[in-house]
Amino acid sequence: MTVTGVNPLDAEWDEWVERVRLTYQAVEYTCAHRLTDARLAGPVAVQVAAGLVARPAVFRYWGLPYSGRIARLAEARIAEADAGTLAAVCDWAVLRTRIAGLSRVHRHALVVTCVRGEDDPALAAALGCDEDGAATVRAEMLAAVAEAVRPGLATADPDGTT
């Protein structure tokens, strides 16, 4: 049941943020048991969460594609932590606050294009604009997301693939 005046994209945003939080917590818990220094689990988990959000299209997937991305990010950071080369990044509270600071329009664009996996015509319909406007909003959203997670990443490319 939808309450009048409440956009369902807001609820989907909240679910997405919860998914990111739960992923952060799961990685932190797992890493605390794998690392020689359990205090490094938080920074590893922040980098994993930031790495996921940096490429938000991964959130349209569940199962192996999603967990595979987590594993790829986590294993690299675990190796760095064990080698004593883990970069200093912001903590989870800062990362969460920066993600929460995304505008409502960018939140909706993330949900439609990255979580749902829909195209610009669907985004245009959701935002009440034309397709060119939707493409612009999508590009702006991706830039805003990249900026929001920057303090949680040691490098611009957490996978080391560029």
The total of structural domains in the chain comes to: 1
DSSP for residue 113? I
Residue 143 included in any domain: yes
Residue 30 included in any domain: yes
Residue 72 included in any domain: yes
Contacts of 109 (CB under 8 A, 6+ apart): 123, 127, 134, 137, 138, 140, 141
- Tell me the per-residue pLDDT of 102-146, one tens digit each, with 9 for 90 and over: 999 999 999 999 999 999 999 999 999 999 999 999 999 999 999
Residue 62 included in any domain: yes
Residue 73 included in any domain: yes
DSSP string, 44-77: HHHHHHHHHHHSGGGGG--SHHHHHHHHHHHHHH
Terminal Cα-to-Cα distance of the chain (whole angstroms) = 45
Helix (H) or strand (E) run with residue 83 in it: helix 64-83
Residue 79 included in any domain: yes
- Tell me the per-residue pLDDT of 55-94, one tens digit each, with 9 for 90 and over: 999 999 888 889 999 999 999 999 999 999 999 999 999 9
Provide the residue range defining the domain that includes 62. Answer: 8-150
Residue 1 included in any domain: no
Residue 6 has a pLDDT of 76
Confidence band, pLDDT 50/70/90 cuts, at residue 158: low
